[in-house]
C-alpha cells in the first residue's frame, strides 16, 4: 500500500489464536493482523489509494482481532490425497527461471541454486515470507514491477506485512490496468524500485520465500536486484502452485489457481490481482497445504527434495 508514495510496513502482534484441525503442531491459525490508523481512521484492508491524498500522514499500528479461518468443506477429509500433476498453472503468467541446478541436483525453476539452510527445521519453526508482485507485463525483460507485497508467517501466524506501490517509469498497459486496477495516476507519486526493493529484502531476510507461481515473482525480483545493483539473497523458495498440484485431488478442485484454492480453503482474503490481497490469500493457502503435508508425515523442507519443482 502506498499513500502519497511511502512504503508502509505493518508489524502485527497476534493477541488471539486458535488451533486448526490437522497436522502435528503446525496450524495455529493466524487470527490477528494489524490495522493501519490513518488520521485516526482504521483500515483493516488496503483500499484503493485516496485520490485526494497529496501527502503522507503518520501511520500508527492498532491491534485488532480478525475473523477465524474457516474449515474448508471436505478439505481435510481427503488428507492430502494424491493429485500430483493435476490442476492448471497458478496464474498463467510466464516462468522466468534460468534453469540452474536446484538443491536436488535437478534443474531449478527459480533461476538459482538455493542454500537449503532451513531444510532440517520443522515447518512450525520456519519463518515464511509470502510474496506477490503486480507488473506491467509477463516478462522481466520487457515489463516492470508496479506493486510489491509480502506477508511474514511463522507457525501459522502472521508476523507482519510489507506493501508498496512502485513507480515503474513506464505507462501501465490498458489491459493490465483493467486486470489490476493499478493506473498511471496511482503510480505517479509512488517510490521507485530502488527505494522499495531494499526494504522488501530486509523484511524477508532469513525467511523461506513463498509465492504462487514462484518463477514469475522470483524472476522479476532477481531482475530487479540486478537493475538496482543489489545482490540477490539465496533464498530457499517454495512454490505453492506446484505444491498444491501434489497435494490436491482433482475431485476437490478443477485447477490450482490461487482464486480456486483460496475459495476451497475459505481464505480470509480473496485474491484480487493486488499484491497484498494476493499475498494474504497465498499465506492462508500455504497454511492449509502444510497441514496436508503433516498428515502425510512430512515435517521439513528436506522431505520435499523429491519434488524439486516445489522447493529450491
pLDDT of 57 above 80: no
Buried/exposed code over 233-255 (b: 16+ C-beta within 10 A; e: otherwise): bebbbbbbbbbbbbbbeeebbeb
> Domain locations in the chain?
8-304
pLDDT of 188 above 70: yes
For residue 234 the three cell numbers come to 539465496
pLDDT of 151 above 50: yes
Question: Average pLDDT of 175-180?
Answer: 96
Question: Average pLDDT of 133-147?
Answer: 95
Selection from 163, 165, 281, 149 nearest residue 217 by Cα: 149
d(CA 86, CA 81): 12
Beta carbons within 8 Å of 274's beta carbon, 6+ residues apart:
46, 134, 147, 149, 180, 181, 182
Q: Which of 67-81, 108-122, 232-246 has the lowest mean pLDDT?
A: 67-81
d(CA 36, CA 160): 12
pLDDT of 262 above 60: yes
Percent of the chain with pLDDT over 70: 62
Question: Average pLDDT of 159-169?
Answer: 97
* pLDDT tens digit sequence for 96-119: 333 322 333 333 444 443 444 455
Q: Would you state the pLDDT for residue 135? A: 97
pLDDT of 61 above 60: no
Q: Would you state the pLDDT for residue 70? A: 52
Starting at the earlier edge strand, list the strands of the sheet with 208-211: 8-11, 157-165, 145-154, 127-135, 208-211, 237-239
Selection from 220, 163, 189 nearest residue 53 by Cα: 189
Question: Average pLDDT of 157-167?
Answer: 96
- Pairing relationship of beta strands 157-165 and 59-65 according to DSSP bridges: unpaired
Question: Average pLDDT of 151-177?
Answer: 96
Beta carbons within 8 Å of 302's beta carbon, 6+ residues apart:
116, 119, 120
Higher pLDDT, 41 or 201: 201
Q: Would you state the pLDDT for residue 72? A: 53
pLDDT confidence of 60, banded at 50, 70, 90? very low
Q: Would you state the pLDDT for residue 6? A: 47
Q: Which of 77-91, 184-198, 256-270 has the lowest mean pLDDT?
A: 77-91
For residue 92 the three cell numbers come to 498463467
Question: Average pLDDT of 239-256?
Answer: 96
d(CA 31, CA 69): 7
Question: Average pLDDT of 9-26?
Answer: 39
Q: Would you state the pLDDT for residue 27? A: 54
pLDDT confidence of 2, banded at 50, 70, 90? very low
Query: pTM of the prediction?
Result: 0.69
d(CA 42, CA 132): 24
For residue 300 the three cell numbers come to 521439513
Question: Average pLDDT of 41-57?
Answer: 35
d(CA 273, CA 134): 7
Q: Would you state the pLDDT for residue 304? A: 93
Q: Would you state the pLDDT for residue 141? A: 87
- Pairing relationship of beta strands 237-239 and 208-211 according to DSSP bridges: parallel
Q: Would you state the pLDDT for residue 91? A: 38
CATH 3.30.420.10 is the classification of domain 8-304: yes
Percent of the chain with pLDDT over 90: 59
Selection from 57, 137, 122 nearest residue 92 by Cα: 137
Mean of the per-residue pLDDT values for the chain? Answer: 74
The answer to whether 209 and 285 have CB atoms below 8 angstroms apart is no
Q: Would you state the pLDDT for residue 121? A: 82
Q: Which of 64-73, 81-90, 205-214, 295-304 has the lowest mean pLDDT?
A: 81-90
Selection from 74, 56, 218, 199 nearest residue 132 by Cα: 218
pLDDT of 48 above 70: no
Question: Average pLDDT of 15-38?
Answer: 35
Amino acid at each position: 500500500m502506498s499513500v502519497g508514495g511511502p512504503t508502509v510496513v505493518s508489524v502485527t502482534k497476534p493477541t488471539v489464536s486458535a488451533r486448526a484441525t490437522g497436522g502435528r503442531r503446525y496450524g495455529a491459525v493466524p487470527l490477528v493482523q494489524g490495522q493501519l490508523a490513518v488520521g485516526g481512521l482504521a483500515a483493516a484492508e488496503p483500499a484503493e489509494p485516496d485520490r485526494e491524498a497529496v501527502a503522507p500522514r503518520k501511520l500508527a499500528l492498532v491491534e485488532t482481532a480478525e475473523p477465524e479461518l474457516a474449515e474448508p468443506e471436505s478439505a481435510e477429509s481427503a488428507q492430502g490425497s494424491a493429485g500430483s500433476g493435476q490442476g492448471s498453472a497458478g496464474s498463467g503468467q510466464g516462468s522466468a527461471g534460468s534453469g540452474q541446478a536446484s538443491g536436488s541436483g535437478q534443474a531449478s525453476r527459480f533461476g538459482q541454486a538455493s542454500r537449503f539452510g532451513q531444510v532440517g527445521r520443522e515447518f512450525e519453526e520456519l519463518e515464511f515470507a509470502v510474496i506477490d508482485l503486480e507488473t506491467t507485463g509477463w516478462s522481466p525483460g520487457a515489463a516492470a514491477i508496479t506493486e510489491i507485497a509480502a506477508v511474514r508467517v511463522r507457525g501459522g501466524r502472521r508476523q507482519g506485512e510489507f506493501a508498496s506501490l512502485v513507480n515503474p517509469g513506464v505507462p501501465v498497459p490498458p489491459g493490465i490496468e483493467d486486470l489490476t486496477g493499478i493506473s498511471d495516476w496511482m503510480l505517479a507519486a509512488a517510490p521507485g524500485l530502488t527505494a522499495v526493493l531494499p526494504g522488501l529484502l530486509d523484511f524477508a531476510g532469513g525467511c523461506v520465500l513463498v509465492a504462487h507461481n514462484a518463477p514469475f515473482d522470483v524472476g522479476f525480483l532477481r531482475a530487479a536486484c540486478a537493475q538496482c545493483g543489489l545482490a540477490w539473497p539465496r533464498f530457499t523458495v517454495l512454490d505453492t502452485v506446484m505444491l498444491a498440484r501434489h497435494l490436491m485431488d482433482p475431485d476437490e478442485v478443477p485447477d490450482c489457481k490461487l482464486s480456486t484454492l483460496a475459495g476451497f480453503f475459505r481464505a480470509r482474503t480473496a485474491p484480487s490481482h493486488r499484491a497484498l490481497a494476493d499475498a494474504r490469500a497465498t499465506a492462508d493457502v500455504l497454511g492449509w497445504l502444510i497441514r496436508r503435508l503433516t498428515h502425510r508425515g512430512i515435517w521439513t523442507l528436506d522431505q520435499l527434495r523429491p519434488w524439486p519443482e516445489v522447493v529450491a
